[in-house]
A and B are shown apart, each in its own frame.
Chain A
Amino acid sequence: MFETLALYFSYPFVRYALIVGVLIALCSSLLGVTLVLKRFSFIGDGLSHVAFGAMSVAAVLNLSNNMLLVLPVTVICAILLLRTGQSTKIKGDAAVAMISVGALAIGYLIMNLFSTSTNLTGDVCSTLFGSTSILTLRPAEVWLCVALSILVVAAYILFYNKIFAITFDESFSRAVGTPVGTYNLLVAVIIAVIIVLAMNLVGSLLISALVIFPALSAMRVFRSFRSVTICSAILSVCCASVGLLTAILAGTPVGSTIVAVDIAAFFIFACIGKIGGNA
């Protein structure tokens, strides 16, 4: 088995996939804790469908670098979604659901109407489930991913105390003069960046799993915000590595294998939590 692995690792695209996979898993799990606690678990799902819609538009327009369109559109939607969570006209979950299925439908419609590709079903399938794109990364994309990940982690560490405070109690933070709106905006932008990055790894249907599973698993066992965050980051990285290696060795789809490992980890942690008397 190790010989096979060594053989695979001599190919640069396998190394790229592993680097990108681990970084994305790390970033998504950090923000996951906040999103789960703020009752925004499904924002990952909603935003990834928005990114899917934007990607299909970019494909139809024949843009050479579709990131230029996908990233801004997703960031704007993230800001709008986290905004509506505070107003009362359309509640957070309804807004997420609306944008999520809306963008999915429009994206598929546009692809069907205007696509010039001969293998439409294959295109859609790989965008939704991220089947192969992680194994076809170019060095430039890997560097972009590394840079963005460093930015995300740095921003998270720098604003960790503030993020904790506004997650726990927005009213109190506002009352003592913390610019809550600005930090919410920051979280929205970060999560949008992560989701656009993660589409390469697991595709737009499975991103929510990367965001919520490590956080939920960590919450079964740990009891302070700091330990939950750290555990969720470590767990996510481990699961992504195990999932990626399994997928390479066994030839299974990358995204769903990683999510399957995340699910297994969740059940293990849930059992540990039960035994520890902290269900």
Chain B
Amino acid sequence: MAELTCRDLTLGYEGNVLFEHLTFEVNQGDYLCIVGENGSGKSTLMRTILHLQPPMAGTIELGDGLKPTEIGYLPQQTVVQRDFPASVQEIVLSGCQGAAGRRPFYTKAEKQMAEDNMARLGISDLARRCYRELSGGQQQRVLLARALCATRRLLLLDEPVSGLDPKVTGEMYGLIEQLNRDGISIIMISHDISASVKYASHILHIGAETFFGTSHDYLHSPIGQKYLELEGGELHCSKHWHSISPTHSSDTP
């Protein structure tokens, strides 16, 4: 059975339907990229998978004994976080809050897990540093380490490379690829279709047209070719846009 199965999903806000009848599944070890235009409902879909909002119709099932609280989530950064006085260690450890449940304090094992995940992402030396003083790439690693504390199986990443420069973006993609090779399934929202096709095993394209299948099939589908062509033409422009906007707002309210 698949780790995550979405059947006949209809999503929307306050009566406005974003998309209907979406069906897809994620198996263990898959690397799924969700692509589509701004406002097509990528973030809404992710919030629905996380049970942060209910679907208008359809079902989301978790398989293989995965619990809803065992999904690691890397949200987009909020305004509050940018000047938050917290050490890296405190933030990574807060990833264990789901496991701690009602228990008020963290156990030794949980603290060790935070240490291990910091080491895994190469940020052990930053443990005592203040989050707001780190670079964008380092901050994303911290949030990724926190997400790893919440899961061993499935990571949901909401535009993890937005606002990062090309070099750091490449490193981030490398890290995610490594985690995927270690057996963690990845679901990632992305704006960068060419990178998605390069790294992901599956592509889910939502919007006016919908596509779900392997990256290979996407490359040879009419919709995939259309969008890759578009992006190729705008490649220079999109890079520029990344560099002038350190963080950009989510495409859903």
Q: Give the B-binding residues of A (Cβ under 8 A).
A: 37-39, 88, 158-162, 164-165, 167-169, 171-178, 219, 222-226, 228
Measured in the bound complex, the distance between the Cα atoms of B150 and A160 in whole Å is: 19
Residues A168 and B91 in contact, CB atoms below 8 Å apart: yes
A–B complex contacts, Cβ < 8 Å, 25 sampled = A161-B104, A162-B104, A164-B86, A165-B94, A165-B97, A167-B80, A168-B80, A168-B86, A168-B91, A169-B81, A169-B94, A172-B94, A172-B95, A172-B146, A175-B50, A175-B75, A175-B150, A176-B71, A177-B98, A177-B101, A178-B98, A222-B85, A223-B87, A225-B86, A226-B87
> Whole-angstrom distance from the CB of B187 to the nearest CB of chain A?
13
Residues B104 and A176 in contact, CB atoms below 8 Å apart: no
> Within 8 Å CB of A176, what residues of B?
69, 71, 73, 95, 97-98, 150
Contact with A along B39-59 (1 / 0, CB 8 A): 000000000001110000000
Q: Give the A-binding residues of B (Cβ under 8 A).
A: 50-52, 68-69, 71, 73, 75, 78, 80-81, 84-87, 89-91, 94-95, 97-98, 100-101, 104-106, 128-130, 133, 146-147, 150, 156, 253
Measured in the bound complex, the distance between the Cα atoms of B75 and A68 in whole Å is: 43
> Within 8 Å CB of A174, what residues of B?
50, 52
Residues B85 and A172 in contact, CB atoms below 8 Å apart: no
Measured in the bound complex, the distance between the Cα atoms of B97 and A160 in whole Å is: 12
Q: In the complex, which of the residues B68, B80, B98 contacts A39, with contact meaning CB atoms closer than 8 Å?
A: B80
Residues A164 and B80 in contact, CB atoms below 8 Å apart: no
Measured in the bound complex, the distance between the Cα atoms of B101 and A217 in whole Å is: 33
Measured in the bound complex, the distance between the Cα atoms of B83 and A38 in whole Å is: 11
Residues A173 and B97 in contact, CB atoms below 8 Å apart: yes
Measured in the bound complex, the distance between the Cα atoms of B13 and A88 in whole Å is: 13
Residues B52 and A168 in contact, CB atoms below 8 Å apart: no
Measured in the bound complex, the distance between the Cα atoms of B52 and A174 in whole Å is: 7
Name B74's closest neighbour in chain A (CB-CB): A172
Q: In the complex, which of the residues B68, B89, B133 contacts A177, with contact meaning CB atoms closer than 8 Å?
A: B68
> Whole-angstrom distance from the CB of B43 to the nearest CB of chain A?
10
> Whole-angstrom distance from the CB of B200 to the nearest CB of chain A?
22
Residues B85 and A219 in contact, CB atoms below 8 Å apart: yes
